[in-house]
Structure 1
Amino acid sequence: MIPPRDLFTQSIQLSPALLMALLVIPVVGGLIGVLLPAFGYIPALDKTTFTLSGFYSLFNTAEFGTMLLLSAVSSLVSTLLAFTITVLILACYFNSPWLYRIQRLLGPILVIPHAAAAIAISFLITPSGMMSRLFSPWLTQWQSPADWLLPHDPWAISMILGLTLKELPFLLLMALGALAQADLGAKLRAQHKVAMSLGYCPMTAFFKVVLPNLYPFLRLPILAVLAYASASVEIPLILGPNAPPTLAVAIMQWFNNVDLTLRIQASAGAIMQLLLTMTLLLSWWLLEKLIKRFSYNSLINGRREYAGQLIMRFTQLLTVILLTVIMLSLMGLILWSFAGYWRFPDALPSQFVLLHWQHALQHMQTPLLNTITIGFIATFVAVILTLFTLEAEQLRARNLSNFASLLIYLPMLIPSIAFLFGLVWLQEQVGSHHAYFNVIFGHLLFVLPYVFLSLASSYRRLDPRFSYLAASLGATPSKVFLRVKLPQLLAPILIAFALGLAVSFSQYLPTLLSGGGRINTITTEAVALASGASRRVSAVYALMQMLLPAMAFLLAWFIPKLVFTKQNAAHYVSTSSTKTTA
């Protein structure tokens, strides 16, 4: 029989391999599962001859080129806008307390699911939305909704707006997280102050000194944003054009079509989506090289001023506009969920009712239970695997290699529409008809990278002297892990758990594809309702999407405070009784 110490150590040592297998095998297997049907191999149809019929059908699809163009332009433009605005905000408020105030204002937006954010933005920009109501009739003279095409405009403007507003907080928080590292943040702030003491204006000092050193820490988040935007489904469904849609939306429609032969076309489309995303990632890398080459002289030319004051004023105005748009979007969502009769162009409803909440709550018990159960199980497994993998790093006294770290983020960099489609096909081949398990596994693929990203830095920064002391007193590795390390990591673990729940709650495509449409969650219901149901009921479901991750983060913030307060109280009582006895 293996001693407990060895059993625990061996289990921990196997965790990195298990984590890699859980991420790499489904993604690679899913890509293989896309390749085979794309060339005509579908056993369910008794088709085993490899042909290019799927690609012929795809290329002959009406407006296929427009689908590709919409996907490429919307993702590239939205990523460029989100990155540019992030850099401008950082440069404008770099050494100002306003930077962290903006972070606190934008931070909650990060946990809002994409579908809920898209619904909120659609309520703002529709012809009868909050934007037109605020300016009517006193400025526009409109007594009825204007005739414009937002959302679902053919130029994808509303979709670009939604993607930009949703990804901007993520990039900003990733940048602030990098600056929070003691060595990097202190170094860059010191260099920024030195540059200003040499006569450089604050904006110029940031672009010449800070940004070149900060950008390497933003590269992976930017590529993840670009990859997601190129293959997003939720936001294009709610805000994007319909005729034709983006390529990812078209693939999903072909996959769900009752005509099974369209799965060959959908599989070929998934390969084209993968190639499109890889092309965009390569284009961004080439753009980096070009900017680095052509901006080198401007970094060393000694020029102190590049219209810094004008850019700063523009950034301040842009920040106010962004925060106003976000607040109006959320306000419109809340108002519609309680609105009774609300005629245009009134800025507020004439009456507020609870009828929509009561009606929605009566019908959302099953989707709500599914959402919480699936999210909890997927996140729990992700946290356990992450903790074991990070503990294995410390037992081996070395971190995961750069290649292994890249593999962990593979589901974030490869379009989900591509490998999920293949994964579902493989699950059908092996006879996996357990829809609930398939959905949980699909969520785990996306939850795990975010949980690892959230927990890794905190675990690696643990002071090892506590573990050495416990081991010197005879504690086994399992006791050191459970009674020394985990209590110190209570707050980071809960934050990672809340983040994992937020990611799971927002998953639309894995739920729809892996569950075969049989598992309903709050997100799938919200997207379905946003396509044409009552605006008031859609608002209720979108708000529920926001409330669930908000409650998770609230508990993650409150529980450590409660635990540490009780521990301090118990320690105080124990100390007082000892003194009284003495």
Structure 2
Amino acid sequence: MSVISNKVATSHGPHARKSHDMFSKIVKLSPRFLLVLLILPVLGGLISVLLPAFGYAPALDQTTFGLQGFTMLWQTPGLINMAMLSIGTGLISTLLAFIITLMILAAFFNSPWLNRIQRLLSPILVIPHAAAAIAVGFLIAPSGMISRIISPWLSGWELAPNGLFPHDSFGISIILGLTLKELPFLLLMALGVLAQPELGKKLRQQHKVALNLGYCPMTAFFKVILPSLYPLLRLPILAVLAYASASVEMPLILGPNTPPTLAVAIMHWFNDVDLNLRIKASAGALLQLALTGGLLALWLGGEKAIKVLFSDSLTNGVREYGGFYWQKLTVILTALVIGFILLSLIALILWSVAGFWRFPDALPEQFTLLHFNSALMQMSNPLFNTLAIGLVTTVFAITVTLLCLESEQLSDKPISRFTSLIIYLPLLVPSIAFLFGLVWIQQWVNNQAAFFNVVFTHLLFVLPYVFLSLASSYRRLDSRFARVAASLGAAPSKVFFKVKLPQLFAPILIAAALGLAISFGQYLPTLLAGGGRIATITTEAVTLANGASRRTSAVYAIMQMALPLIGFILAWGLPKYFFKSARV
């Protein structure tokens, strides 16, 4: 007893109390810090892009408000086509990804096949958009894998045809790339919702009741599961729609150049040597913000319209809507999606090691590692920048997230709905809109701190994903361990570091791998915040995809995929190794 009392007395000494008080203050302030960290850059960026759009840009010796930027924007040839291309590709790709997600869930709900599909599609999440675009381009190009597989026995082509894809003026290539990239994300978000113990159990029981009442499986899903599932998917869907409508990487690699999408055009104006075009770029950023906001409003309005139009169908007692045929169609569609993705990755790998490869041969005549050797010799600086930025950003994001979640437990009340919504703010506001304003601010404050500027900008996109990844695991911690430790005299800081964090070892590693993957894939934030001075694997890959050889582009795309994949492999393997060592 004396030993215990001495330990308790020591733990409550003046220095210990001071450190405990400091920890408690930091934890208490962390949610406010999170809000400031996310709100100020986004709103500051929007305000800083608003002022130049209306002619106020002291850096360019323009201090008179006016509509010069918008006048320049309206006079841009093909502006309407740019806007329509952005609207069409963003809305159609999101709609297709959402519909296919629902069809897969409905056809395979409560089936072991759903977990198998999840395992097949999950690795796609770690592939950056730029690498995915390069892989899709290798597949659908005139001399791509699809043309090679069907030539000459089916197509009769002895030479590569004049193909429509990629870079088609209708944006079909962009739609295809975005759909294949966002589909796994929406599917995993839905499966994450269904994995919640209470909700998942309740919905599966309701689905079984509907089946016992004679409803076909797909009808049961849409009438019983979807009304409860969709509200929890709304924010991820809106985030996908906002990203797709203002994406840069996919349209830059797969889209047309005359004219490009609005976001790509804005990026070109901002990076032009004529600094006065930044006024036009700012006006374009506001137009992009309006287009994306209009799409989000259209989607929310569509929700209400569908609810009104189909509310009666939920209770009309009809048990069959051709479910057999829809199920067969879904199986075929799922096989096509998985096959398309796998074939894209195979084409990427083949081009990275291909020697001489003439059309229409399905395989190269020889294989070589020369492209890897030459690329790796030039890759050291981009690779170092990629890893350094990703590690610093992810460590900071995880620290802020853990402190916010600890604040939630110490105050014994969940984070407010306002804070939960603000976490999505950088994902819902088009990055092309607020990044330009943020870059104006960064250049005004400190134009030389390129590395810090890039890290700070990456943090805005990494933090939401890290928070969403860790939140559920932290909130499911068994509180009895913390209560026992506290009853033995352990201070909150000691409970946090000695009791809670060891239990969260595996989830923290998963969140770290996810944060690194998000950081590794950032193109526009790196390009703008770094002012072109910070080269990463992603910026180099996008540059090479628009002019370099396919083989070099393939090597960089594979490196883009390999880095986050290594992170997830370590996150999966390290807990097993350490827990096994602990048992031994």
Shorter-chain TM-score tier? over 0.9
Matches of 2:256 and 2:263, distance apart in 1: 12
Matches within 5 A, 1:377-388: 377-388=392-403
State the partner residue of 2:10.
none
Q: Which residue of 2 aligns with 1:572?
A: none
Provide the rounded CA distance (Å) in 1 between the counterparts of 2:126 and 2:238.
19
Superposed CA deviations along residues 514-562 of structure 1, whole A, max 9, x for unmatched, are 0000000000000000001010000000000000000000000111111
Query: For 1:90, which of 91, 105, 109 is the aligned residue?
Result: 105
1:22 to 37, 53, 57: 37
Which has the larger displacement, 197-206 or 119-128?
A: 197-206
Residues 1:100 and 2:120 are matched in the alignment: no
Counterpart in the other structure of 1:247: 262
CA distance in 2, matches of 1:11, 1:222: 34
Separation of aligned partners in 1, 2:215 and 2:171: 40
Picking from 230, 236, 254, the partner of 1:221 is 236
| Distance in 1 separating the partners of 2:321 and 2:48 | 53
Match of 2:435 among 403, 407, 420: 420
Aligned with residue 193 of structure 2, among 171, 178, 188: 178
SS of the counterpart of 2:275? coil
Correspondent of 1:362 among 369, 377, 387 = 377
1:475, 1:383 → 2: CA distance?
A: 24
Aligned to 2:163: 148
Structure 2: distance between partners of 1:115 and 1:347: 25
State whether structure 2 residue 323 is matched by structure 1 residue 289: no
Query: Aligned letter for 1:536?
Result: R
The TM-score with structure 1 as length reference comes to: 0.97
Structure 1 residues without counterparts, runs of 5 or longer = 570-582
Deviation at 1:431, TM superposition (A): 3.1
Alignment match, 1:578? none
Which of 551, 565, 578 aligns to 1:536? It is 551
1:305 counterpart letter in structure 2:
E
How far has the Cα of 1:137 moved from its partner?
0.3
Q: 1:334 aligns with which of 336, 345, 349?
A: 349
Q: Which moved more, 1:38-47 or 1:480-489?
A: 38-47
8 A Cα contact 1:409 1:449, kept in partner = yes
- Cα deviation, 1:161-210, whole Å, max 9, x if unaligned, reads 00000000000000000000011111111111111111111111111111
Q: Corresponding residue for 2:150?
A: 135
Q: Who is 2:328 aligned against? A: 313
Of 256, 262, 276, the match for 2:271: 256
Aligned to 1:575: none
Residue 91 of structure 2 corresponds to residue 76 of structure 1 = yes
**Once the two structures are superposed, what CA deviation does each residue of 1:464-514 show, in whole Å capped at 9, x if it has no partner?**
110000000011111100000000000000000000000000000000000
2:49 corresponds, among 34, 51, 56, to 34
Report the residue type matching 1:379 in the other structure: T
Q: Distance in 1 between matches of 2:581 and 2:145?
A: 47
Matched, 1:390 2:410: no
Corresponding residue of 1:119: 134
Question: Does the CA-based 8 Å contact 1:112-1:545 persist in structure 2?
Answer: yes
Amino acid in the other structure paired with 2:133: A
Look up the match of 2:12: none
Report the residue type matching 2:178 in the other structure: L
Note if contact 1:31-1:419 (Cα within 8 Å) is conserved in structure 2: yes
Which secondary structure does the structure 2 equivalent of 1:430 belong to? helix
Q: Which amino acid aligns with 1:155?
A: F
> Using the alignment, how far apart are the partners of 2:22 and 2:54 within structure 1?
47
**CA distance in 2 between partners of 1:540 and 1:4 (Å):** 50
Equivalent residue, structure 1, for 2:421: 406
- The answer (yes or no) to whether the contact 1:378–1:441 under 8 Å persists in 2 is yes
Choose the corresponding residue for 1:453, options 443, 448, 468: 468
* From 122, 125, 133, the counterpart of 1:110: 125
1:512 to 527, 536, 550: 527
| SS of equivalent residue, structure 1 residue 429 | helix
Cα shift at 1:433: 2.2
| One-letter amino acid of the structure 1 residue matched with residue 461 of structure 2 | F
* 3-state SS in 2 of match to 1:3: helix
Q: Which of 443, 451, 466 lines up with 2:458 in the alignment?
A: 443
Cα displacement string for residues 353-395 of structure 1 (whole angstroms, at most 9, x for unaligned residues): 0100000000000000000000000000000000001001111
Structure 2 match to 1:376: 391
Give how far 1:41 is off: 1.2
* Map of 1:568 onto structure 2: 583
Distance 2:295 2:531 in 1: 30
The structure 1 residue matched to 2:222, chosen from 173, 186, 207, is 207
2:227, 2:339 → 1: CA distance?
A: 31
Work out whether 1:61 is the aligned partner of 2:76. Answer: yes
Matched residues in 1 for 2:72 and 2:495: separation? 60
Q: Aligned partners of 2:70 and 2:60: how far apart in 1?
A: 18
Amino acid paired to 2:474: Y
Residue 542 (structure 2) pairs with residue 527 (structure 1): yes
Q: 2: CA distance between counterparts of 1:40 and 1:327?
A: 49
Q: Which segments of 5 or more consecutive residues in structure 2 lack a partner in the other structure?
A: 1-14
Cα RMSD (Å): 0.7
Q: Counterpart amino acid of 2:448? A: H
Q: Residue type of the partner of 2:460?
A: L
The CA distance in 2 between the partners of 1:533 and 1:153, in whole Å, is: 20
Instruction: Report Cα offsets for 1:222-270 as digits up to 9, x if no partner.
Output: 0000000011000000001110000000000000001111000000000
Equivalent-residue separation in structure 1 for 2:480 and 2:213 (angstroms)? 43
Deviations 1:38-88 (A, max 9, x none): 011111221100010100110111010111100001100000000000000
Name 1:192's counterpart in structure 2: 207
Q: 1:268 aligns with which of 283, 288, 292?
A: 283
How many Å separate the matches in 1 of 2:244 and 2:45?
20
Corresponding residue for residue 50 of structure 1: 65
Q: Find the partner of 2:478 among 445, 460, 463.
A: 463
Shift of 1:432: 3.9
Please name the residue that 1:574 is paired with.
none
| 1:322-359: CA deviation from partner (whole Å, max 9, x where unpaired) | 11100000000000000000000000000000100000
How far off its partner does 1:217 sit?
1.1
SS at match of 2:446: coil
Amino acid at match of 2:323: G
Please state how far the C-alpha of 1:302 moved relative to its aligned partner. 0.5
1:573 alignment partner in structure 2? none
The residue type equivalent to 1:58 in the other structure is L
Distance 1:376 1:30 in 2: 25
Query: Is contact 1:420–1:510 with CA below 8 Å preserved after alignment?
Result: yes
Per the alignment, in what secondary structure is the counterpart of residue 27 of structure 1? helix
Q: Does the residue aligned with 2:143 lie in a helix, a strand or coil?
A: coil
Q: How far apart, CA to CA, are the structure 2 residues paired with 1:111 and 1:215? A: 25
Structure 2 distance, partners of 1:217, 1:317, is: 28
Is the CA contact 1:356–1:536 (under 8 Å) kept in the aligned structure 2? yes
In structure 1, distance between residues paired with 2:269 and 2:136 = 27
Partner of 1:298: 313
Q: Is the 8 A contact 1:427 1:433 kept in 2?
A: no
Q: 1:159 aligns with which of 161, 167, 174?
A: 174
Q: Give a deviation string over 1:285-305, Cα, whole Å, max 9, x none.
A: 000000000001111111111
